[in-house]
């Protein structure tokens, strides 16, 4: 069966998922996470991708970003892989591929789902029982988005900015979004969209309810 085409629209947020080949670890020590984030920061800036949220899990990565143009994301991910994979292989005395084929992605085309996607990404360590609360996990954007920790990788989306008139108000409003877990319906919609390279939004929700 042919893979569905990847849809990328300028300035429309995109949820990206990249997994380790055969679910092998992509990060084996603290330095791996730091190197990946440094490379991602440089590649995102050079390729015109504004990163809003991320989480680096042991064997996969989630990114939420807005590209400047239709080619920005593919170029960024190619450059990121060409720099990170050789580093990882050298450091851990291995050869061969690290990632599982091409990355998966879904457009976040509905305003409500942007913050759902934020929560889905930053709650990954909690669902995986790697942290009790998202702020316990150091390799995500949560400490920056919820508590104002300095993070030069991130560019807030306008909807995040609209959470409040100043940084303290925005952070407090963002923290409140995490008081409740995501519903099973929201979890399923994000997963189905990401795994199927389909848009995440009202149109997808309405179609899934009709089927």
Give the tens place of pLDDT for each residue, 63-87.
Answer: 999 999 999 999 999 999 999 999 9
- Indicate if the pLDDT at residue 1 is higher than 50: no
pLDDT classification of 202: cutoffs 50, 70, 90? low
- CA-nearest of 58, 50, 52, 62 to 105 is 62
Please report the sign of the dihedral spanned by the C-alpha atoms of residue 75, residue 77, residue 80, residue 84. negative
- Indicate if the pLDDT at residue 205 is higher than 70: no
Token duo for residue 11: 């300035």
pTM for the model: 0.92
Tell me the percentage of the chain whose pLDDT exceeds 70: 93
- Indicate if the pLDDT at residue 204 is higher than 70: no
User: Comparing 52 with 201, which gets the higher pLDDT?
Assistant: 52
- Buried-exposed string 142-161: b where 16+ CB fall within 10 A, e elsewhere: bbbbbeeeeeeebebbeebe
Q: Residues 88-112: what's their mean pLDDT?
A: 92
- Indicate if the pLDDT at residue 106 is higher than 60: yes
Angle between helices 111-122 and 184-196 (to 10 degrees): 90
CATH architecture of 14-210: 2-Layer Sandwich (3.30)
Domain layout of the chain by residue ranges: 14-210
The number of angstroms, rounded, from the C-alpha of 77 to the middle of its chain's C-alpha atoms is: 12
């Amino acid at each position: 069966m042919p893979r569905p085409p990847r849809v990328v629209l300028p300035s429309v947020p995109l949820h990206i998922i990249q997994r380790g080949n055969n679910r092998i670890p992509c990060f084996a020590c603290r330095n791996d996470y730091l190197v990946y984030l440094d490379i991602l920061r440089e590649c995102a800036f050079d390729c015109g991708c504004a990163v809003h949220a991320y989480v680096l899990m042991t064997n996969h990565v989630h990114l939420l970003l807005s590209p400047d143009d239709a080619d920005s994301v593919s170029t960024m991910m190619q450059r990121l892989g060409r720099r990170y994979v050789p580093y990882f292989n050298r450091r851990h005395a291995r050869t061969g591929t690290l990632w599982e084929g091409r990355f998966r992605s879904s457009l976040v085309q509905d305003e409500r789902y942007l913050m759902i996607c934020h929560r889905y990404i930053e709650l990954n360590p909690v669902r995986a029982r790697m942290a009790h609360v998202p702020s316990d996990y150091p390799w995500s954007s949560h400490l920056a988005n919820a508590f104002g920790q300095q993070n030069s990788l991130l560019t807030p989306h306008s909807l995040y900015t609209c959470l409040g008139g100043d940084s303290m108000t925005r952070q407090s409003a963002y923290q409140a979004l995490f008081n409740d877990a995501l519903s099973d319906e929201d979890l399923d919609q994000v997963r189905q969209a990401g795994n199927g390279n389909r848009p995440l939004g009202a149109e997808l929700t309405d179609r899934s309810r009709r089927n």
